[in-house]
Chains A and B, each alone.
With several copies, the nearest count.
Chain A
Amino acid sequence: MTATSPTHPARIPRDAVVIRFAGDSGDGMQITGSEFAVETALAGNDLATFPDFPAEIRAPQGTTFGVSAFQIHFGNSEVMTAGDELDALIAMNPAALKTNLKDLQRGGVLVCDIATFNPRNLTKAGYTTNPLDDPSLSDYRVLKLDVTKMNAEAVKPFGLGAKEALRSRNMWTLGLMLWMYGRDRSHTIEWLERKFTKKPDIAKANVAALNAGHAFGETTELSAPSYSVAPASAAPGTYRTVTGTDSLVWGLVAGAKAAKLDRVVMASYPITPSSPVLHSLAGLKQFGIVTFQAEDEISAMCAAIGAAFGGALAITSSSGPGIALKTEAIGLAVMTELPVIVINNQRGGPSTGLPTKTEQSDLYQAIYGRNGDTPLPVISTATPSDCFEVAMEAVRIATKYMTPVMLLTDGYLANASEPWLIPDVTQLPSFPVKFRTDPVGFHPSLRDPVTLGRVWALPGTAGLEHRIGGIEKDYDTGHISYDPDNHQKMTDVRAAKIDGIANDIPLQTVAVGEDTGTMAVVGWGSTYGPIHQAVRAVRAEGKKVSHIHIRYLKPFPRNLGDLLKRFDRVLVPEMNNGQLVTVLRSEYLIPAEKLAKVTGKPFKISELVTAIRTRLEK
């Protein structure tokens, strides 16, 4: 921790803070934010971050649609969302100000690099007058700094080109913000030196910029005070920050290990926001992981099925439109009873919709979206770190029940990050698969009497030669059968197998509050954070409201119905037009109420608090 200089007013303590770095795509806001997050994590705060990329690959400089932002929420106790309103906003250019100001709370700190507020940039951002010169910003604590100039001076000694010099502006800003919140900067310096080992001048310049920004805060009388946020109490152990993508991928690796499957085949076709799963796994070849970028999603799903037939842990991942293309083949996996992990990184629909925005509107598709009576298990992820456990569960269920499993996550979780207590690998669950080898009494249609899972018999095993396919098969022999009663029997067993999983998953717990009350706020997926905080808030007002978050969507936990019936009302906030609520109503005949938000953005805690309050008043 840097001590604040004596001449400087003491830091104002805060429980939690939300700040956002916003600038042009080229301004390195993602790196700036991530580094701030690291220093914050290392300072012992709990935190949550969310990056907001522009929809365009690389929009023209200075345009509003080219703005890239990174938000971080940190505090001295459990932090579960990236935060609603901003305490501080860093706007590296007019466009960044234009697009982000609405989220800054009154009295919040606003840092602007005045050098960028030139007529050209102002018009590009759609300003007719310079907001820095008119009263429009009077509600905020504006720091009008010529970052560009001050930074240029700081880096001058290293003889960088104008362009290069400009590039380090973000480090100057980072330095200032690290000072403002009393964070260390040694890890960032370390990192800069590692990153630019081959270009020592650039490294030095960036470090100088960082220090200059920090020094500026420390030595100047700023019109904005500085703050301190005490560390959060955390369980002992080794931590790191993870995005949903990181922990999902590691969960898959852990799942393969737990299943004792040393060949993993991941077949996928790139699509936003799902591609990072493919990218990460492509970097893990040393784990015996084969990644296959197929020609399309149909091929990816079918390749996964082929790999499963061959005895590998088969994985495919995509997003809504790609999952739509996979549905016919998913039916084949259900019919042939082969284990495949199907990951859906949900994004805004319908059709191409809002590819870069988050949504959870593919639940219907996951549960109902196939021809025929074609049931399969559906599970979902709630937080970035939760993805690890859910991925392992997907592997366990798929291999134990010989079925494709739909794992629903979304674009928000894929990119959001939070600190994670790294698990002890020796303590992780283990569920080794058994391949059939004994030819005596073998039929491809043999089932485990308990799980009803079909036998997994691999090509290459002498005496188990058999044929599978998408046509209905005889219950006893596994041969093609057009027999009416057999079709009924197979339809029933396919359904019973999936329903039976309910006996093999944890009972539904209550995330916050009692298991009875005036209202249960029921969610699934990435709405966990905001619902959690909102329920806490209304409970603080003495309301008998509980938060129930469902991971297992098909089948539901055995006790879910009884649990929900112990509440006077059930409110179901979803980032879709009301999908889980429909399923709950038909399953339990309870008048669950829909609370839909379909804007491509996560719920704000405040929105939920208001919604819960008003419903309770009704």
Chain B
Amino acid sequence: MTTSTAPLKASDFESDQEVRWCPGCGDYAILKAVQRTLADVGATKESTVFVSGIGCSSRFPYYISTYGFHTIHGRAPAVATGLKLARPDLDVWLVTGDGDGLSIGGNHMLHILRRNVDIQLMLFNNEIYGLTKGQYSPTSRVGTRSPSTPLGSLDSPLSPTLFALGAGARFVARTVDTQQAHLVSVLKRAHAHRGTSFVEIFQNCVVYNDGVFDEFTDKSVAPDRQLLAEHGKPLVFGKEKTQGLRLKPAALELEVVTIGENGVTESDILVHNETNRTLASLLGSLHPPAFPQVLGVLYCDPAPTYEDVVFAQMKSATGGPKDLAALMHSGRTWTVAG
């Protein structure tokens, strides 16, 4: 048993279950990063709970030595909300996929975000339905050929970031399965944030959608195609960090500029302000090749958590009958003498 006195190592968060993802699946890397994060933030096994839906990604809880609940397809946010309303003391992580969280589970995702329940929500986005053998998902790009779309998919994809911002999320971040350091740092930010921390993780499905993120994750192009946003720092990217984003005057649009070229200086570069929703959604809508893929904490603007206000209101609810007897005797009664 765990007495959880000594701080735990990442390996302490490995469960006794054999991991059953396909060899090479991006989920392995995420699992490692989460175990690392748990150790780094000093989590305990007993007070940590992983809740998931259904999908390859949602197998996640079985591989972590904390408490876990592998629920049903799309419903993890609802289960997690109920859990937090019973037990605000628990540290709850939610694992979902692009199908689980944005297709069947879109409504619960929407509402947990607006309610701002205090959990870490990891969306493993592989732009495909892995577990059911490769149908396209709500994040699949137009033209995706899959068993259910032999001639290519037609629905225009959702942007998890824009969706989350539109739903009223107070913390929105993006990172990549294979970029351990960045992944861990983002997960730590998510854990530190009180409220629903929405983290989209670009995850490679080697079997059904291999390489779909290569355009910005491939080592060869990453530096030029990724912008790692940091609050208060200029939004620059490129090997020499000589490229940056500038706000087009009065146009509410961003453009890529090169420092040192036609008069552009550091000072022209937009500085990241993670508390600005508008900036976050502008950054979230940029895509390679024309723009870099912006990663990191795009938006963080804390607000009261749902459970905090719920229990504060309960505390303040001092009116009315105090016990069962008083309750049942409230209002009109009459007595028949014995």
| CB of A473, distance to nearest CB on chain B (Å) | 10
The answer to whether A296 and B107 have CB atoms under 8 Å apart is: yes
Q: How far is the CB of B241 from chain A (nearest CB, A)?
A: 40
Residue B220 at the chain A interface, CB threshold 8 Å = no
Known contacts: A306-B78, A312-B86. The answer to whether A282 contacts B147 by CB under 8 A is yes
The interface residues of chain B lying within 8 Å CB-to-CB of A299 are 75, 77-78, 81, 107-108, 111
Residues of chain A lying within 8 A (CB to CB) of residue B74: 296
Contact B318 A286 (CB under 8 A): yes
Q: How far is the CA of A519 from the CA of B149 in the complex (A)?
A: 50
**Contacts A38-B332, A279-B148, A285-B151 given; does A459 touch B72 at CB 8 Å:** no
A310 with B83: CB separation less than 8 A: yes
Q: Indicate if B245 sits at the interface (CB-CB under 8 A).
A: no
Instruction: Report chain B residues within 8 Å CB of A187.
Output: 332
Q: Given that A61-B23, A283-B320 are known contacts, is A309 also in contact with B69, CB under 8 Å in the complex?
A: yes
- Contact mask for chain B residues 58-76; partner A; CB cutoff 8 A; 1 contact, 0 none: 0001100111111111110
B residues 69-96 touching A (CB-CB < 8 Å): 69-75, 77-87, 89-90
Q: Does A3 contact B (CB under 8 A)?
A: no
Q: Contact at A467–B336, with CB atoms within 8 Å?
A: no
Cβ-closest chain B residue relative to A467:
B68
Other-chain residue from A57, A307, A469 in contact with B130 (beta carbon distance below 8 A): A57
Answer yes or no: B17 CB below 8 A from chain A CBs: yes
For chain A, residues 251 to 279, give those with C-beta under 8 angstroms from any C-beta of chain B: 253-254, 257, 263, 265, 267, 269-272, 275, 278-279
Q: How far is the CA of A186 from the CA of B103 in the complex (A)?
A: 47
Indicate with 1 or 0, residue by residue over B1-39, a CB within 8 angstroms of chain A CB atoms.
111100000000001011011110000000000000000
Whether A307 and B336, one on each chain, are in contact in the complex, defined by CB atoms closer than 8 angstroms, is no
Q: Which of A239, A293, A311 interacts with B149 by CB under 8 Å? A: A293
Considering the chains assembled together, what is the distance between the CA atoms of A98 and B248 in angstroms?
67
Once the chains bind, are A240 and B132 in contact (CB under 8 Å)? no
- For the complex, what is the distance from the CA of A263 to the CA of B68, rounded to whole Å? 21
Please name all residues of chain A whose beta carbon is closer than 8 Å to the beta carbon of B243 when the two chains form the complex.
none
Residues of B within 8 A of A439 (CB): 1
Task: Known A240-B333, A467-B69; judge A265-B86 contact (CB<8 A).
Answer: yes
A292 in contact with B324 given A309-B69, A310-B87, A321-B73 (CB within 8 Å): no
The chain A residue sitting closest to B68, CB to CB, is A467
- CB closest residue in chain B, given A264: B86
Contacts of B310 in A (CB 8 A): 290
Answer whether A60 and B78 are a contact pair too, CB < 8 Å, given A253-B327, A292-B85. no
Contact A468 B68, CB 8 Å, known A279-B148, A459-B46, A460-B46: yes
CB distance from A436 to the nearest CB of B (A): 12
Q: Enumerate chain B residues within 8 angstroms of A312, measured Cβ to Cβ.
A: 85-87
* CB-CB under 8 A for A285 and B66, given A270-B135, A310-B90: no
In the complex, B260 has a CB within 8 A of chain A: no
Q: Is the interface of A mostly helix, strand, loop or mixed?
A: mixed
Q: How far is the CA of A527 from the CA of B147 in the complex (A)?
A: 29
**Distance to closest chain A CB from B64 (angstroms):** 8
Measured between beta carbons, the chain B residues less than 8 angstroms from A58 are: 22-23, 207
Which residues does chain A contribute within 8 Å of B332, judged by CB atoms? Answer: 38, 41-42, 187, 240-241
Q: How far is the CA of A377 from the CA of B317 in the complex (A)?
A: 35
Residues of the A chain whose Cβ atoms lie less than 8 Å from the Cβ of B320? 283-284, 286
Please report the C-alpha to C-alpha distance between residue A240 and residue B82 in the assembled complex, in whole angstroms.
35
A35 to B, closest residue via Cβ: B332
Nearest Cβ on chain A to B222's Cβ, whole angstroms: 27
B327 adjacent to A288 (CB under 8 Å): no
Residues of A within 8 A of B265 (CB): none
Q: Chain A's nearest CB lies how many Å from the CB of B11? A: 15
Residues of B within 8 A of A603 (CB): none
B158 nearest CB across to chain A (Å)? 10
The one of B133, B207, B317 that contacts A275, using a Cβ cutoff of 8 Å: B133
Chain B residues with CB under 8 Å of A305's CB are: 71, 79, 82
Q: Which of A453-479 contact B (CB under 8 A)?
A: 458-471, 479
Interface residue A303 (Cβ < 8 Å from any Cβ of B): yes
Which residues of chain B have C-beta atoms less than 8 A from A297's C-beta?
A: 104
The verdict on A422 contacting B329 (CB below 8 Å), with A275-B148, A459-B87, A467-B15 known, is: yes
Main secondary structure of the interface of B (DSSP, over half): loop
A290: chain B residues at CB < 8 Å are 85-86, 310, 314
Of the candidates A254, A287, A301, A469, the one whose C-beta lies within 8 Å of that of B70 is A469
Contact B2 A270 (CB under 8 A): no
Contact A56–B333 (Cβ < 8 Å)? no
Asked if residues A309 and B313 are in contact (CB atoms below 8 Å), the reply is no
Bound form: Cα–Cα A59–B256 in Å: 44
C-alpha gap A297/B71 in the complex (Å): 16
Q: Assuming the A-B contacts A240-B331, A298-B75, A307-B86, are A470 and B70 also in contact, with contact meaning beta carbons closer than 8 angstroms in the complex?
A: yes
Asked if A234 CB lies within 8 Å of chain B CBs, one says yes
Q: Which residues of A contact B303 (CB under 8 A)?
A: none
Asked if B51 CB lies within 8 Å of chain A CBs, one says: yes
- Which of A284, A465, A466, A479 is most buried by chain B, counting CB atoms within 10 A of its CB? A465
Q: When the two chains form the complex, which single residue of A282, A292, A470 contacts B150, counting CB atoms closer than 8 Å?
A: A282
Residues from chain A with a CB closer than 8 A to the CB of B45 are: 462, 465
Expressed in whole angstroms, the Cα–Cα distance for A42 and B336 within the complex equals 10
Determine the distance from Cα of A281 to Cα of B84 in the docked complex, in whole angstroms.
Answer: 19
- Contact present for B62 and A467 (CB under 8 Å): yes
- The CA-CA distance from A241 to B330 in the complex, in Å, is 11
Per the bound structure, the CA–CA distance linking A475 and B86 in Å amounts to 28
Tell which of B4, B75, B78, B107 has the most Cβ of chain A within 10 Å: B78
- Interface 1/0s, chain B 301-338, versus A by CB < 8 A? 00000000010011001111111110111011111111
Q: In the bound complex, do residue B65 and residue A465 qualify as a contact, i.e. CB atoms below 8 Å apart?
A: yes
Q: Is the CB of B20 within 8 A of A479?
A: no
Cβ–Cβ < 8 Å partners of A469 in chain B: 61-62, 68-71
- A250 interfacial by beta-carbon distance below 8 Å: yes
Q: What mask results when residues 416 to 431 of chain A are scored 1 for a CB within 8 Å of chain B, else 0?
A: 0000001101000000
Q: What are the residues of chain A within 8 A of B319 when measuring CB–CB?
A: 286
Min CB distance, A57 to chain B, in Å? Answer: 6
Distance A254 CA – B333 CA, assembled complex (angstroms): 19
- Structural contact, B108 and A295, CB atoms closer than 8 A: yes
- Bound form: Cα–Cα A470–B59 in Å: 11
**CA gap between A438 and B111 in the complex, in Å:** 37
**CB pair B68 A460 closer than 8 Å:** no
Beta-carbon contact of A272 and B132 below 8 Å? yes
Closest to A306 in B: B82
- Closest residue of chain B to A278 (Cβ to Cβ) is B148
B327 surroundings in chain A (CB, below 8 A): 250, 253, 284, 287
B103 touches A479 (CB 8 A): no
CB distance from A49 to the nearest CB of B (A): 13
Q: Which of chain B's residues has its CB closest to A439's CB?
A: B1
Closest A-B pairs by Cβ, 7 of them:
A306-B82, A469-B70, A463-B1, A303-B82, A236-B338, A310-B86, A302-B78
In the assembled complex, 12 residue pairs joining A and B whose CB atoms fall closer than 8 Å, in A order, are A57-B22, A263-B86, A292-B82, A292-B85, A302-B71, A305-B82, A306-B78, A309-B86, A329-B72, A331-B72, A468-B70, A469-B62
Given A57-B131, A254-B324, 18 more pairs with CB closer than 8 A: A57-B22, A58-B22, A60-B20, A238-B335, A275-B147, A288-B314, A290-B85, A295-B108, A299-B107, A303-B81, A306-B86, A309-B86, A314-B82, A321-B72, A459-B67, A467-B17, A467-B62, A470-B72
The chain B residues found within 8 Å of chain A, CB to CB, are 1-4, 15, 17-18, 20-23, 44-47, 49, 51, 54, 56, 61-62, 65-75, 77-87, 89-90, 103-104, 106-108, 110-111, 129-133, 135-136, 138, 147-151, 207, 310, 313-314, 317-325, 327-329, 331-338
